[in-house]
Structure 1
């Protein structure tokens, strides 16, 4: 084996090693990138959910205060509840159900809400 062939063999082995390690480094980079993306999305979702939960709790507190008001023993109009809390209609209904309220029809055919304990389902 002459020097030129030996040099070519060494060069080929070095090239294969470089290609192998380049592939390994690329794979590790992809794995790290995927992990960072997943972790970032999880943290972003957690932050957004925390803010939504905080807003929901504030709205529930306000809804409870309104439904607990002794001046409105027969319940409150849905329109008022939704406007005061600043919640969209479906969002407001969800929150009302979560605090143990139920909907009913007021005397003027508007939608009203009160606690289930104040107006059991069997009373309508």
Structure 2
């Protein structure tokens, strides 16, 4: 439970920092303190991303075999669906922009994030362990 509270606090800090940073950048405020804040926020985001990936991998390893298999098939199905939609969109709109990255890599990353996003918040008393 403590890890969930810590993760929730980090998400809140990231959201508040994003709002402040967007305000500073949008208003084009030139201040040394705010420049240091924005730079510190970027460092925080990198460390936060490393934390999220680490916690997700640790929780993924703790899942039972059946749940891992279900998630794997969901990732494959969603990747195929998004790839087909992307291919049709690019084929109809801009055939010259069809690339491996647009058709396969982006949908795969989107499906990974979508399916594995709840792993950060799994508690030990859930049925997954």
Q: TM-score, normalised by structure 2?
A: 0.29
More relative contact order, 1 or 2 (CA 8 Å, 6+ apart): 2
Structure that is richer in strand per residue? 1
Structure that is richer in helix per residue? 2
Q: Who wins on radius of gyration, i.e. which is larger?
A: 1
Q: TM-score, normalised by structure 1?
A: 0.30
